[in-house]
């Protein structure tokens, strides 16, 4: 397995196979790319609050839809999904 690194290739690719501190090979077009300074790229990351909200809703479905009395639970008032905080 080859180690990959961030690059900026003329073909538009941003990943390359690491060869040395100064050289990488583009994973798209196999062109050698000189790496003289670190290259950084931005990526979309799903916010932790959104992940927590989705997980909480899945947990509710797994636990069931009934409350302790056997009645259908009204989950809409059990959680404030607009104010989820997660300790990291």
- The whole-model pTM stands at 0.42
Strand, helix or coil for residue 51: helix
Question: Rounded to 5, what percent of the chain is helix, strand, coil?
Answer: 20, 20, 60
Confidence tier at 83 by pLDDT (50, 70, 90): low
In this predicted structure, what is the pLDDT of residue 76?
A: 63
pLDDT in tens, 50-73: 888 888 777 766 666 666 666 666
Taking the domains of the chain in order of start, what are their residue ranges?
Answer: 4-34, 44-88
**CA end-to-end span of the chain:** 32
């Amino acid at each position: 397995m080859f180690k990959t690194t961030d690059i900026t290739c003329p073909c538009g690719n941003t990943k390359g196979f690491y060869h040395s501190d100064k050289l990488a090979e583009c994973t798209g077009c196999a062109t050698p790319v000189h790496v003289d300074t670190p290259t950084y790229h931005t990526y979309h990351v799903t916010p932790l609050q959104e992940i927590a909200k989705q997980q909480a809703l899945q947990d509710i479905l797994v636990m069931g839809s009934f409350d302790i009395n056997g009645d259908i639970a009204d989950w809409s008032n059990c959680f404030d999904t607009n104010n989820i905080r997660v300790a990291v």
